[in-house]
Amino acid sequence: MTNPLLESGTLPAFSKIEPELIQPAIEQLIDQNRKSVSRLTAQQPPGWDNLIKPLALMNDRLDKVWSPVRHLNSVKSSPGLRDAYNSCLPLLSEYGTELSQNRALYQAYLEIAGSPSFVEFSQAQQKAISDSLLHFRLGGVELEGDDRKRYQRLQKELSELQSRFENNLLDSTQAWQFHTEDDADLQGLPEYAISLLRQLAEQKGLPGYRVTLDMPCYLAVITYAKKRELRKNIYQAYVTRASDQGITDKSWDNAQIMVDIVAKRQEKAKTLGFDSYAEYSLETKMATSVEQVTEFLGDLAKRSRLAAIEEDQERQVFAESLGFEGELQAWDYAYYSEKLKQHRYQISDQDLKPYFSDKPVIQGLFDIVARLYKIHISRIETGIDTWDEMVGFYQIENEQGEAIGQFFLDLYARENKRGGAWMDECVNRYRIDGKTQLPVAYLTCNLTPPIGDEAALFTHDEVITLFHEFGHGLHHMLTRIDVPEVAGINGVEWDAVELPSQFMENFCWQREALDLFARHYQTGAALPDELYQRMVAAKNFQGAMQMLRQIEFSLFDIRLHQQQEVSSASQIQTILDQVRAEVSVLKTPPINRFQNSFSHIFAGGYAAGYYSYKWAEVLSADAFAAFEEEGIFNPETGQRFLQCVLEKGGSRPAMESFRCFRGREPEIEALLNHSGISN
């Protein structure tokens, strides 16, 4: 029997991927690749066509086999799939470390970079080679003896620990539920939320209502539930996931895993000669030093803190005016914030949701990018193998009708699906021997699902999330770079990778853009101007507190990875507590174990890089300011952003791409203006 993972074809055959087929496929490809590397490095003299191009093809095939496995483990987890996924992690880690420490391969790249013909290479080719040389050094190619072995061990152990962290978080999230048949428990919840909880109960064959920790459910309860005890219960369940607090299984506690991850990262960095993992991490980012990052965050905190204090005090006073006695607690914040917003602006998510139904929102998003970049997006209805019946598949075509990219769209929250929202690469673009492989993306969200036969209705925040992830997808799919190592998001500095995604969020606030999709799901009526004006007026409601929240996460991350030694979970807690004492204006309950579920830095790619969201927001706000100045659908401005930023991918430094578009380096004023923070 042939292994479907090894069959030729661009798109994965998801329905044919069985757990028992995964490890044999990975082992076979790794074995073939090892033999190919030995053969390629023996050829002299090394060059693009006889070394780098065949290496790219070899790596591309392995990527196309592992990508659907990695994706399925995130969106359709099962015990068998998880075991198969975890069994391959050490194999892939070992192979990846072998490549990065292959001296013959490193010397071949050095020889190519030092050859007279190097100047004749394209900018993308030169960038790919220089990036590879950096990754060789960061991968330990110059290490000797025990240090070399230690680095290999650390890489393998880190991949396994990060997977365990994510698994524990998923299991602890799905283990909690609150079941009730009493309508009084749900007083205050909007009708859409009550219908969602009823549907969640029906899916388990239960009467009444089932409350879970999936984001649409959690946000509805913590924001609208009048019953304070229910808000407290779901808050405590959410912030104690994967910890030794709360009621979930203590075997899912991520405390020691966090300690081990940070310690091994630090050991890895020191093995390579860095003082800290934070310094190691910044080698591939725009920021040049830890001091620059902390000064940037400190400046934003200073500009935001007084306004945040006023916002917090205002909420407290308003709650008291409604009869609340005592000091607001963490499970009260969202509830009374929503009450205050409704009081001040006469607007809530309930008012807006009827105007954000799934199909018009998706089509509106497509119409916006069509105007900006002169592309056309259409759904392919047949012949596509997906992992869930709700997943759609789409193709992007240019003005000439040529296909230039494709993507899977998985919008809704469901069981056995990792929380959050993300874009991931399914297939990378490259052009070799006259043939172009189209880039394909996975776009994944956890938005409110349809209730029964009704259309799915999104909150405005959910619309923003969708636009954000689609911005990442455009960066991957609209690239015109033919060198896979620097095509799309590849090769982009991590603190610039959020530029296209955060840029897209701005269109969710523009009247001209909203008119393309914000229509009542029953009547088709456009979003009333009065409601739009109230929405815009509330845009920066409690924006200073939200700014400080992101700064808190960012400072915690960078300081944690500056530590010379981390030996206990209590030490991690102390670092977080110290950051909160400096920048936060909110009281955090002792039971809170936010760090145990901070997958961005412990299981994702944001370790010592979470600041990237704010760093890149400076770029994105300043970039969008050009559209505000020239017209949000100005075709020349759209084409300039496309050609300077999206098409160029990682083929040159991000600052060059930004200067190409804006004509200067970024300025922070646009971010402050967009955030409602005065200079």
Instruction: Evaluate if residue 678 carries a pLDDT over 80.
Output: no
Token match 């490809």: residue?
29
Residues β-bridged to residue 442 = 408, 424
Q: Is 424 helix (H, G, I), strand (E, B) or coil?
A: strand
Q: What is the 3 state secondary structure string of 428-453?
A: CCEEECCEEECCEEEEEEEECCCCCC
Instruction: Evaluate if residue 630 carries a pLDDT over 70.
Output: yes
One-letter amino acid at 133 equals L
**Which pLDDT value is given to residue 246?**
78
Helix (H) or strand (E) holding 656, with range, is helix 654-662
Instruction: Outline where 42-78 has alpha helix (H).
Output: 53-75
Domain ranges, ordered by start, for the chain: 4-100+102-138, 176-252, 255-346+543-597, 354-539+613-674
Helix (H) or strand (E) holding 179, with range, is strand 178-180
pLDDT in tens, 41-87: 999 999 999 999 999 999 999 999 999 999 999 999 999 999 999 99
CATH architecture of the domain with residue range 354-539+613-674: Orthogonal Bundle (1.10)
What integer is the mean pLDDT of 403-420?
A: 96
- Give the integer Cα–Cα distance in Å for 596 and 322: 35
399 pLDDT band, cuts 50/70/90, is very high
Among residues 311, 338, 425, 469, which one is catalytic?
469
pLDDT in tens, 177-188: 999 999 999 999
Q: How many CA atoms lie within 13 A of 28 on its CB side?
A: 12
Helix (H) or strand (E) holding 211, with range, is strand 209-211
- Which segments within 359-487 are labelled E, that is strand? 376-379, 392-397, 403-412, 422-427, 430-432, 435-437, 440-447
**Which pLDDT value is given to residue 679?**
58
Q: Does residue 120 carry a catalytic annotation?
A: no
User: Do the Cβ atoms of 386 and 422 come closer than 8 Å?
Assistant: no
**479 is written with which tokens?**
């690239």
Q: Is the backbone peptide bond immediately before 45 cis, with ω within 30 degrees of 0?
A: yes
- Give the integer Cα–Cα distance in Å for 387 and 74: 11
Helix (H) or strand (E) holding 221, with range, is helix 215-224
Superfamily of domain 4-100+102-138: Endopeptidase. Chain P; domain 1 (1.20.1050.40)
What integer is the mean pLDDT of 258-270?
A: 98
pLDDT in tens, 514-538: 999 999 999 999 999 999 999 999 9
> Do 255-346+543-597 and 354-539+613-674 come out as alike in CATH topology?
yes
CATH code for residues 255-346+543-597: 1.10.1370.10
Helix (H) or strand (E) holding 178, with range, is strand 178-180
Instruction: Evaluate if residue 9 carries a pLDDT over 90.
Output: no
**What is the rounded average pLDDT for all residues in the chain?**
96
8 pLDDT band, cuts 50/70/90, is confident
Q: Is 649 helix (H, G, I), strand (E, B) or coil?
A: coil
- Give the integer Cα–Cα distance in Å for 644 and 609: 24
- Which segments within 577-638 are labelled E, that is strand? none
**2 is written with which tokens?**
């042939």
Taking the CB of residue 390, how many other CB atoms lie within 10 A of it?
A: 15
pLDDT in tens, 142-195: 999 999 999 999 999 999 999 999 999 999 999 999 999 999 999 999 999 999
Number of H helices, E strands in the chain: 26, 9
1 pLDDT band, cuts 50/70/90, is low
Output the pTM of the full model.
0.96
What end-to-end distance do the CA atoms of the chain give, in Å? 67
User: Do the Cβ atoms of 394 and 380 come closer than 8 Å?
Assistant: yes
Give which of 592, 543, 586 is closest to 572, Cα–Cα.
592
**Crossing angle of helices 543-560 and 569-583, rounded to 10°:** 140
